[in-house]
Amino acid sequence: MKIGLKTISALACTLCVSVAVGGSAYAGPDDSSLIIEGQNIATDVKAPEGSAFDQLYSGWRFRATETQSLQEDDFENPAFVAVDQAIEEFHNVDGSAGKSCADCHSDVSDFKDVRASLPRWNAKTNKPETLENIINECRTERMGAKAWKWESTQMLGMTALVGLQSRGSAVNVQTDGPMAEWFERGKKLYYTRVGQLDMSCAHCHENNFGTMIRADHLSQGQVNGFPVYRLKWQGLGSIHRRFKGCMDNIRAKPYKRGSDEFIALELYVASRGAGLSVETPSVRN
């Protein structure tokens, strides 16, 4: 395959050349096991029936030792700065109702296991809701406060703090009933080729996980650790930010954060990680 570096931009070429030679640079997931603060985190599980994979692997297993170690200790994990800030925010009165989160949810540990089953069905809005949706609904409906932006510092901190309460719980999202339609929609998005590079999610994360995409080690694209502290971002980012980044890379026009498309895709991708432990907030490169 001959694609000149000059004919396509350097970034685009990075992707297509690597995928073209995919398989020749397989580097596995590694054999490390993850224990955080004494708790065992399942970073690989046998894939459920009907899965495209035999074994599911957390993205943690594809990272370098140094990156992995940042997640093994909550002090060394830089995401915990945001968690600390969110603990303060949890007690901060905001909005016309004069309430803080803590006025209704006395302890943040009330949210145990919630992250593992998101997105979940919301009968009132008649669509699935993500953690961001849940937090903003509380803010606008019950606190009389302004909704936070999807990628704001406050939202990332709060999704990290609430998600942390489910750390170690097995991912288990509903895909039947009213969710079935959204699951199918997400699945269709996952396998649809888009962008100038004409690639789908599956080209990298299903067919080529474990291989090197030039200098980067492709994972299964699991979302069990979000929001994630990425070394590249030098901060936390949402699932939808990662989706947008992937779409930018394949030179597609990304959907918006919080859009129906990304919520459907989040549901579908979450379902592909059923059984993996929630790792929120994880650390990746």
* Active site members: 246
In the complex, what is the shortest distance from the CB of residue 229 to another protein, in angstroms, rounded to a whole number? 9
* DSSP conformation class of 284: E
Over the window 240 to 259, marking each residue x when it contacts another protein by CB under 8 A and - when it does not, the resulting string is: -xx-xxx-xx----------
Count of residues interacting with another protein (CB under 8 A) = 41
Q: 278 has which bridge partners?
A: none
Among 2, 124, 232, 253, binds another protein (CB under 8 A): 232
Q: Is 64 in the site for another protein (CB under 8 A)?
A: yes
In angstroms, the CA 9 to CA 257 distance is 26
DSSP string, 17-67: HHHHTTTTTB-------EEETTEEE--EEEPPTT-S-SEEE-GGGGS-HHH
Query: Which CB, 64 or 93, lies closer to another protein?
Result: 64
Contact 119, 268 (CB under 8 A): no
Query: Which CB, 167 or 240, lies closer to another protein?
Result: 240
Report which of 97, 99, 100, 79 is spatially closest to residue 89, judged by C-alpha positions.
100
In angstroms, the CA 117 to CA 192 distance is 25
Among 3, 55, 76, 125, binds another protein (CB under 8 A): 76
Query: Which CB, 66 or 176, lies closer to another protein?
Result: 66
Count of C-beta atoms within a 10 Å radius of residue 36: 17
Among 28, 37, 40, 84, binds another protein (CB under 8 A): 84
Query: Which CB, 32 or 285, lies closer to another protein?
Result: 285
Secondary structure element (H or E) that encloses residue 217, with its range: strand 216-217
Over the window 172 to 211, marking each residue x when it contacts another protein by CB under 8 A and - when it does not, the resulting string is: --------------------------------x-------
- Contacting range for another protein; rule: CB under 8 A; set: 50-58, 123-131, 233-241, 267-275: 233-241
Q: Which of residues 259-278 bind another protein (CB under 8 A)?
A: none
- Contacting range for another protein; rule: CB under 8 A; set: 45-53, 60-68, 108-116, 144-152: 60-68
Query: Cβ contacts of residue 20 below 8 Å, gap of 6+?
Result: 1, 3
Catalogue the E-assigned strands of 98-141: 120-122, 127-129
Q: What single-letter amino acid sits at 258? A: G
153 φ, ψ to 5°?
Answer: -55, -45
Among 19, 58, 63, 135, binds another protein (CB under 8 A): 63
Q: Which of residues 91-150 bind another protein (CB under 8 A)?
A: none
Q: Is 75 in the site for another protein (CB under 8 A)?
A: yes
In angstroms, the CA 73 to CA 101 distance is 27
Q: Residue 137: helix, strand or coil by DSSP? A: helix
Q: Which residues bind another protein (CB under 8 A)?
A: 10-11, 14-15, 18, 63-67, 69-70, 75-76, 78, 80-82, 84-85, 88, 204, 212-218, 231-232, 234-235, 241-242, 244-246, 248-249, 285
